[in-house]
């Protein structure tokens, strides 16, 4: 089921997976979000806004990690919505800020560069980001379809309980 | 003005402070440590971003203390600052024209880059340039949101590194911020929607 919304800036298709995921994130305690535009996570961003959660547009993923760290220091549980290439753009901040201070952070990662990728330049980071997350000791779960939303809920609870970053990977729907 | 004098002035502003990594954090810890201070020990470039994140979550004043070399790594921050414009946030850039924590290598502000004009060009409406501690204190206690570029001399005080670990610094700052949280609400960017 798809619907288009013009909430915030830009337009995006909001799918059932996006809605279920956004509700799961809110239920588990996400109350602040930042994003750098990515076609895969755009629908989640809109669904979060529909659920009353602030979504701040960052100019770069590293900046988004900083915004989320500030929110966590103010007592919130933040999510950063980004494309997997942005894991490369933010690796130092994930290590020396989120990791060093042990701050909660849920990364919602649009997984470009997979089997259905249509832009060849997406493939190198599509392979590398998994190793980068592993090197940063950031656990990773995957939400392929709407029925996987409870996996994201558990990931948020883990980020809060263990005060750490966790990654929720979203492949393109149907991949 | 030396950096230490600037930091002493900023320690007099009631509220929360985010302090840039390297010598700024070392000097602030030495001169005026307080649980209201969040000392960055890594993630160069993100003082302003952390400050925006804190300011959106609390009611009281937040002073983010950045540097010229650091903010040049994250110029997009001025656009984000202008767009969300938390009224309780003052972004102070201590501009000495060099990377003071790594051996005084010149930054682009030493060859003409104007951070005040970059901030204004990004849409920040209240931009101040100050040159002495009294003007700095006045700007940092004045109306927000504002970007304050403080021209300082190069040079560091001879002080040791901050001896506290990450979770300790997190906990004491967060406890101080917790009493001043504001209820989360949707945050819309200012200006026209695209």
Across the interface, whether the CB atoms of B42 and A69 are under 8 A apart is answered no
**Cα-only R_g, chain A:** 14
Residue B166 lies in a domain: yes
**What is the tens place of the pLDDT at every residue in A88-122?**
999 999 999 999 999 999 999 999 999 999 999 99
According to the model, what pLDDT value does residue A10 have? 62
**What is the tens place of the pLDDT at every residue in B51-78?**
999 999 999 999 999 999 999 999 999 9
The class (CATH top level) of A2-170 is alpha beta
Going by C-alpha positions, the residue among B42, B34, B3 that lies closest to residue B16 is B34
Chain B nearest-CA residue for A93: B43
φ/ψ of A106, rounded to 5, equals -110, 115
Look up the ipTM and state it: 0.94
Going from N- to C-terminal start, the domains of chain A cover 2-170
Going by C-alpha positions, the residue among B119, B118, B115, B98 that lies closest to residue B107 is B98
Dist CA B61 CA B79 (whole Å): 20
According to the model, what pLDDT value does residue A54 have? 82
Task: Say which of B49, B83, B181 has its CB closest to residue A74.
Answer: B181
Mean of pLDDT values over A156-175: 97
**What is the tens place of the pLDDT at every residue in B178-190?**
876 665 554 555 5
Mean of pLDDT values over B77-93: 98
Please provide the size of chain A in residues: 175
Q: Do residues B107 and B150 touch, judged by C-beta distance below 8 A?
A: no
Dist CA A79 CA A136 (whole Å): 17
Please name every residue paired with B62 in a beta bridge, in sequence order, or none if there are none: B16, B89
What total of structural domains would you count in chain B?
A: 1
Residue B93 lies in a domain: yes
According to the model, what pLDDT value does residue A7 have? 45
Residue B194 lies in a domain: no
Instruction: Tell me the C-alpha to C-alpha distance, in Å, between residue A170 and each of A36, A173, B38.
Output: 15, 8, 34
Task: Say which of B58, B169, B186 has its CB closest to residue A49.
Answer: B186
CATH code at position B71: 3.40.50.970
Q: Does residue A1 or residue B150 have the better pLDDT? A: B150
According to the model, what pLDDT value does residue A149 have? 97
Residue B172 lies in a domain: yes
Q: Which residues of chain B lie closer than 8 angstroms to A35, CB-CB?
A: none
Instruction: Tell me the C-alpha to C-alpha distance, in Å, between residue B66 and each of A160, B44, B93, B110, B149.
Output: 29, 10, 5, 16, 9
């Amino acid at each position: 089921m798809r619907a288009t919304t013009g909430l915030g800036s830009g337009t995006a298709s909001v799918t059932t997976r996006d809605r279920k995921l956004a509700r799961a994130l809110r239920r588990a305690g996400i109350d602040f979000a930042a994003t750098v535009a990515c076609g895969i996570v755009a629908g989640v961003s809109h669904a979060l806004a529909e659920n009353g959660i602030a979504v701040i547009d960052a100019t770069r993923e590293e900046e988004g990690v900083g915004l989320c760290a500030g929110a966590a220091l103010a007592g919130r549980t933040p999510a950063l919505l980004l494309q997997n290439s942005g894991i490369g753009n933010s690796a130092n901040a994930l290590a020396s800020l989120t990791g060093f201070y042990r701050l909660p952070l849920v990364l919602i990662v649009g997984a470009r560069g997979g089997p259905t990728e249509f832009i060849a330049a997406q493939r190198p980071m599509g392979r590398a980001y998994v190793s980068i997350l592993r090197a940063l000791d950031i656990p990773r779960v995957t939400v392929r379809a709407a029925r996987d939303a409870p996996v994201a809920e558990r990931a948020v609870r883990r980020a809060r309980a263990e005060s750490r970053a966790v990654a929720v990977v979203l492949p393109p729907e149907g991949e | 003005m030396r950096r230490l004098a600037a930091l002493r002035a900023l320690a007099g502003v009631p509220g929360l402070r985010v302090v840039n990594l390297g010598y700024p954090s070392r000097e602030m810890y030495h001169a005026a440590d307080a649980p209201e201070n969040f000392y960055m020990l890594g993630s160069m470039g993100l003082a302003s971003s952390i400050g925006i994140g804190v300011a959106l979550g609390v009611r009281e004043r937040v002073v983010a203390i950045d540097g010229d070399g650091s903010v040049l790594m994250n110029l997009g921050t001025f656009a984000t600052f202008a767009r969300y414009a938390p009224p309780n946030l003052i972004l102070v850039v201590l501009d000495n024209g060099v990377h003071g924590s790594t051996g005084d290598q010149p930054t682009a502000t030493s060859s003409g880059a104007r951070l005040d004009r970059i901030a204004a060009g990004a849409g920040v409406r209240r931009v101040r340039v100050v040159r002495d501690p009294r003007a700095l204190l006045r700007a940092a206690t004045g109306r927000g949101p504002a970007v304050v570029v403080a021209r300082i001399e190069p040079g560091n005080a001879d002080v040791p590194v901050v001896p506290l670990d990450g979770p300790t610094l997190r906990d004491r700052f967060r406890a101080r911020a917790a009493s001043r949280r504001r209820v989360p609400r949707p945050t819309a960017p200012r200006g026209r929607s695209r």
